[in-house]
Structure 1
């Protein structure tokens, strides 16, 4: 089993959802970002999405756009992001890491070189928001051939006619974007999330993680009662943006992660 399969299987056996945390690699600088990355599992993160900074993050809201800019201005690039994963794996060989971002940096790096390096250092999955299934040959096919999961995004506007195509070669888990729009924009109601998950389960046996607009332990708990995973990104990234110094950034992100983890882990406790 892959790390993602193992993690979701273990959590299903425990009777709880996964806390999936997103941070941007290199934000606000390499050392601080690496300290946050290394600290997330102990703070309660079950799966980590690590954003690959990009100059034109069109699917992201202001918070993550600014995080990308901070990281790029600090000198972050794809090579350094892969190095961060390598350093993380020296201490942690169990927490799944998913790289999330856009295709352009990978294309520039070279797909074959990227896939080989990602596999070597322990990347478990990819979420590439601007590569639809029609372009699987670009990256999804070689990544999955190397044993790296390719995780698809589904949205409220992905109808039943489109879903089979989107999910056909998905692996790892399905990321349900619970609101139409960019990251950090609004949140869906419990009823909307419940209905969406019910519909997705008719099309796939993969774990379903729900993200976009989840900022508090209470919101995380509400989603954790329904989904297999709860994704939180912008709320964590905001802690970095609002920190007075790097040490505070680390402390505040990990503290919020801990609070979110309590919400998720207690969600199904009667």
Structure 2
């Protein structure tokens, strides 16, 4: 979808306006088990769109600050998976970290518990009520909360995650840096038939079960395509592309990469969480 089209703009403006009608009402409690001499961990509850209560972990280094921050936006995961309680000790001693469970995920699973697979296609036949519309709002609410912290160095705030990290940075102010590993919302209708791997296999499963909904699914996904958000992203960005020759490799993602407005670094995945994580940590430390 063209990012300048009224349909795209109106869809997301309505989402932001709906979120603004709900105050965050944060509740913050120390988690003693994960608190150390160099950082304090807090459990945080926030209100998002629809009066839904979210949960996150906020780690703040000891000292006066201000500190740079890493915001781990909600992931594509079920209620069974946990979100990070901070990160490596060295990072926790230097960075504020905030990881948020979107609706349906662990500790934010009442009244909705996300299925896996199944989350990607929850109400996908209706763009207005598609579950990821609310999850995007959840992610934005998390960023808004982090920006209220007096300990924050607002000149160094990294939003890190999958597609949601990029979408959040496009729709809300505050992110100075972005780490994004596209997996869900890049040319999804064209790429899904080329794979049997999840998460995109969810789309294939859904369309096999409900073939008459293909056009409705296409219309919904048009509001989420990363290429439409890219021109709104001015942050310095690290794009984690797939390994060469894989579905979402650098060649496939080229239109997205060139559409981003800020400086861009592309890392082609080594297909190793450790190696890719090390590249990400070094990139963040160098900013």
- TM-score interval w.r.t. the shorter chain? 0.3 to 0.5
Bigger share in strand? 2
Comparing both chains, which one has the higher relative contact order based on Cα–Cα distances under 8 Å and sequence gaps of 6 or more? 1
TM-score (ref. length: structure 1): 0.35
Structure number with the higher helix fraction is 1
TM-score by length of 2: 0.33
